[in-house]
Structure formats: structure tokens, C-alpha cells
Amino acid sequence: MLFNLTLPTLISRIITLLLAFTFHEFAHAATATALGDSTPRNHGRLTLNPIAHLDPMGTITLLFAGFGWAKPVPVNPYAVQRKTNAGMMLVSLAGPATNLLLAVLAAMPLRFGWVPLRASTSAFLPSMGTFLLEFLSINLALFFFNLIPLAPLDGEKVVTYFLPDHWVEFYDRIRPYSPLILLAVVFLLPMFGIDLIGLIIRRPMNSLALFLIGR
């Protein structure tokens, strides 16, 4: 993807990641704060300043590979769960839900014809339609990717809230290995022709994107 990356696409991705990652992490911080946890505020994460949230490696990966990550927001699980047993699930779900909301907002001008979908793009700047499609796609990719039920992704906290106790114990046992499992799914399995990321992210992402823009 690196060699096919045009300047308009790169510009679209830079703007998108600044917004998508910032709002994603701010949503985590704001939800935790609303549930009585002062940790995000104390660590300077209750802010819409992108510098507070961006992770250098995750940013580079998103620019050139199409997926990435930001710095996780520190949360005190005991503080948020004093308010409700669903505290950590709600904090975790807030990030992906925000990316989905951003995708829906980006799709509206395309769906209702307020912005032409196929307007020409200059050599330097993306058309509004091109930018909105990139913004829509990346936010949907972040939505589905973060819901993968493996730590350190948000989906692990979401799914374990709804699982019976014996499955939670299983997740507790595999949690130390979850990052390695995730790396294997993303990078190793495709070398053997097993594209789980395509199955659980790209296919539903493309289907939802087409639905949102009315195609």
C-alpha cells in the first residue's frame, strides 16, 4: 500500500486519524470521567488535543497499512465500577461507538447527494467526496478492529461483560497471550492464506459502508 499511496489519500488519512483517534480516546476518557473516575483527567487525556492521544507507531501503521492505534486512556476499573458493574464495558464501548458515529456522519452528505461521490481529485488535494469516503472507511475499520475480543482491544472488555463466569476465567488465562494472538491474526495467518481480518473487518466494513452511502 505504501507505493500506491497518493498525496490526496495521505492527506485524507492524516486528517482522518487526527479526528478518529482523538474522538475515540476522548470518548473513553469522557465516559470514565462521567462514571466518577478522575484518572483520565489527571493524565491529561480528557482533551480533544490530538497530541495527547496519538501513538507514533500506531499513527504510521494507519497511514501506510490502513489500520492503527492510539495511546490507551488510563482508567481505574474500581472507580468506574463503583457506579455500575457495566463501567468498564461502557468505557470500552464508547471508543468504537464514537468511530461508528463519525462514519455515519461522514456518510450522510454522500447518501443524500450533498457531496458528489465521484468528483475529480487534484494531484495535491482530495475532493470532498474522496475525503469523506476515506474518513468513512477508516472509522468503520477502527470500529470493527477495536471490537475484536482480544486484549488490549476494546472488544475484550465488551465481550467479557456478557460472558458467563467460566468464559471470563478463560479470557483471564489467555489475556497475557492476547497481543501475540492478535499479531498472528493480523500478520502471520495471511502468509498462509488465512485472512481472518478480511472476514471480520473488511467484508462487514465494505457492506456497512455501501449501506450507509445508499449503494
Catalytic residues: 25
- Do residues 78 and 91 lie in contact, with contact meaning Cβ atoms separated by under 8 Å? no
| Cα distance between residue 96 and residue 24, in whole Å | 7
| Cα distance between residue 2 and residue 141, in whole Å | 18
- The backbone torsions φ and ψ at residue 101, rounded to the nearest 5 degrees and listed phi first, read -60, -45
CB-neighbour burial class of residue 93 (10 A; exposed 0-12, middle 13-18, buried 19+)? buried
Q: What does the longest C-alpha to C-alpha distance in the chain come to?
A: 56
